[in-house]
Amino acid sequence: EIVLTQSPGTLSLSPGERATLSCRASQSVSSSYLAWYQQKPGQAPRLLIYGASTRATGIPDRFSGSGSGTDFTLTISRLEPEDFAVYYCQQYGSSPWTFGQGTKVEIK
Amino acid sequence: EVQLVESGGGLVQPGRSLRLSCAASGFTFDDYAMHWVRQAPGKGLEWVSGISWNSGRIDYADSVKGRFTISRDNAKNSLYLQMNSLRAEDTALYFCAKDNGYSGYDCYFGYWGQGTLVTVSS
């Protein structure tokens, strides 16, 4: 099973700042089959990025994904008030499909 | 508009069974694989099970293998999860999720329901 470790656990930033979230895999994720999701309290997760760097439909271009192999990054270029949430990475290259433990982006 | 509506959750004693359902609409159900993903209270996400469009491929997390059974009825646009021998650690919000791959088994999730809560406690 591929274990995904996200860092930091919590990121305290102000609106307008840049957020950089990390997701590290215990082994290489084949074909960059890595997705990112955003979850707000009381809501279902929302797909942001798949294939490590492809934005899902309707996702603003301030969200970008990068990386390959074992190291992946989600970047939010300028935080908007609605971006404060928990973010999860997920690999779908090798069953069982696994999630990271999440990074909370909170208002500083 | 894609809609996924879960039902069937509730309070159940350890060792008992429960069957979850997910009613899908707004897309051609039998073109897509479907999955169950759960989230324990205050915790992260855990993929539970997935089923291909024609039920030809079915997968389970090790934590539920042998106890849970996923199935689908394409004529009724519905997904199911039969949960047997429930344990306290199965307590979670169970989400129904649509695979993002058309006619594939891509195993990442473009649409989610709002979830149904399962509480296993005596």
| DSSP conformation letters of A8-74 | -SEEEE-TTS-EEEEEEESS--GGG-EEEEEE-TTS--EEEEETTTEEPTT--TTEEEEEETTEEEE
Q: Which domains does chain A have, with CATH numbers?
A: 4-107 (2.60.40.10)
CB-closest option in B46, B50, B108 to A50: B108
CB-closest option in B47, B106, B114 to A44: B114
Contacts of A44 in chain B (CB under 8 A): 95, 112-115
Dihedral (Cα; B68, B72, B76, B77), 10-degree rounding: 110
For the cut 90, the answer to whether the pLDDT of residue B104 exceeds it is: no
For the cut 90, the answer to whether the pLDDT of residue B102 exceeds it is: no
For the cut 90, the answer to whether the pLDDT of residue B98 exceeds it is: yes
Q: List pLDDT tens digits, range B45-87.
A: 999 999 999 999 999 999 999 999 999 999 999 999 999 999 9
Which residue is listed with tokens 């004693």? B13
